[in-house]
Every structure is written in C-alpha cells, then in structure tokens.
Amino acid sequence: MSDEKFTRQRLLDVQTLTPSLFTLRTTRDQGFRFRAGQFARLGVAKADGSVVWRAYSMVSSPHDEFLDFFSIVVPGGEFTSELARLKAGDELLIDRQAFGYLTLDRFADGRDLWMLATGTGVAPFVSILQDFEAWERFERIFLVYSARHGQELAYRELIAGLEQREYLAEFAGKLRFIPCVSREDYPNALRGRITSLIENGALEAAAGTPLTPEHSRVMICGNPEMIDDTRKLLKGRDMQLSLSRRPGQVAVETYW
C-alpha cells in the first residue's frame, strides 16, 4: 500500500477492559474526515516489515481531535495479537478515507431510533451518540448493548454521562440504555440475547415501546450471526433493509 493512502498516527492510550477487550486512542490526522458510524482500516507493522490491516469503527465523535477504537483480542488472530502488543507512543497506520454506511442518512424519517449492538459492535453507536444529529432528529433513542458477561459492557460511564454534556443537555431524557447479558444475571441488565429478547417481547417491555415499521428505525452492529438473525426477526415485522434506492427501517454494517 502506498504512503499516500494512509497516515502514520501515534497511540496516545491503551486501556485493557478484560483479558480479551481493550480500547485504543490515537492521534488524528487533520485531514481525516468521517461521519459518525463509519469505520477506517488500521494497519500494524509486523516484525518482518509487512503490514496487517483490519477495519474498525470510530468510537470517538467526528469533532474530537483524537480517534478512539474498541477491539477484541482474537486468539491466534494475526492482527489483534499484533495490536494488543502496542502501547502508548507506538505507531499505527490509519487509512486516509473513512468507509461504511451505518450512518443516520440511511433513514429518511422515523420517530424512534434503536441501536442494537453485540460486543465491539457498540463502537459506531457510541460515536453517533456523541454527535448531535440523532438527538435532534429522533424523539426517543434506545441503545441495546449485549455481551456475554457484565464486565464486557464497555463505555458505560461515557454513555451514562452523555446527557450531562452541555451540547446535549437540552435533549436529556431521550436516551434509554438497555444492557443485556447472556451468560449471567447482572444488575440492571436484561438476561439473554438480543434476538431472544425481541422474540419473547422482553426488549420492547423494557423499552416501553414497540418495534414497528411506522415509527422504529433500527441500526444493527455486531457478530454476523446476530445481524442475520435480527434482520430475519425484523423482516417478519415488515421492517426492510434501507437502501439508497429504497428507504427502509433497518441499517446494518458488515466488515466481513
């Protein structure tokens, strides 16, 4: 890959959340632009000089001066094992261009915004929630975040503090955070997977709002199986994938 297509950035901070989850903060090239919800490819140089690339959603907002990313360590994974070794001060390569369609311009209308995430799939939603548009456009926002264990639910303090931010204060009360934990009982969290909580009605009961094609606009990010299963459930409710030529009620991101 030629030098023109990426910039060399410096790691500012690495935080380990669990043995398999960590967050990264890097410097940001002044020319790098993205819409909340998009991703960029990160490159790590290996000892032999070759570079491994993977796509990561930005967690930070488009107006931050730094870039935040959220990563899982894949056992034996070529990229994350290299990435997990990095520390503050090390170099990371970042594409000059952002990609992806998990952005609010996928929806032409809608009253309620639902964000359904598993694992590191919460990243684009944290970025969107730190931006202004979602709060202005939608009456209610539901962030549904599922993990196997409670300690894997990242960014809880950031999410809890959003409505205290000066630029979002006027929208206080719009956001409902609904954590879901599938492998243990966890305080203030629903027990189960997002798909089963949709099927048995527990998710809508917790939200106090039904998922309907008229009012709900749903963004989904997480493992491919969860995305497929959730899309099928929503399709059964006449909720279709939103395409540029045919606006719908559902938007997904696929990196795979």
Question: How high is the mean pLDDT in each 10-residue block of the chain (256 residues)?
Answer: 81 92 96 97 91 95 97 87 88 95 94 97 98 97 97 96 96 97 95 97 98 98 95 97 91 76
Fold of the domain built from segment(s) 3-95: Elongation Factor Tu (Ef-tu); domain 3 (2.40.30)
Task: Give yes or no for a contact between 235 and 21, defined as CB atoms under 8 angstroms apart.
Answer: no
Tell me whether domains 3-95 and 104-252 share a fold. no
| pLDDT value at residue 253 | 82
| pLDDT value at residue 139 | 98
Task: Give yes or no for a contact between 25 and 65, defined as CB atoms under 8 angstroms apart.
Answer: no
Question: For the domain with range 104-252, which CATH number is right: 3.40.50.300, 2.40.33.10, 1.20.1740.10, 3.40.50.80?
Answer: 3.40.50.80
| pLDDT value at residue 98 | 96
Domain spans of the chain, in order of start: 3-95, 104-252
Alpha-carbon torsion, ordered 19, 127, 194, 221, to 10 deg? -90
Structure token pair of residue 1: 């890959």
Total-model pTM: 0.95
For residue 70, the cross-strand partners are 23
| pLDDT value at residue 255 | 62
| pLDDT value at residue 254 | 67
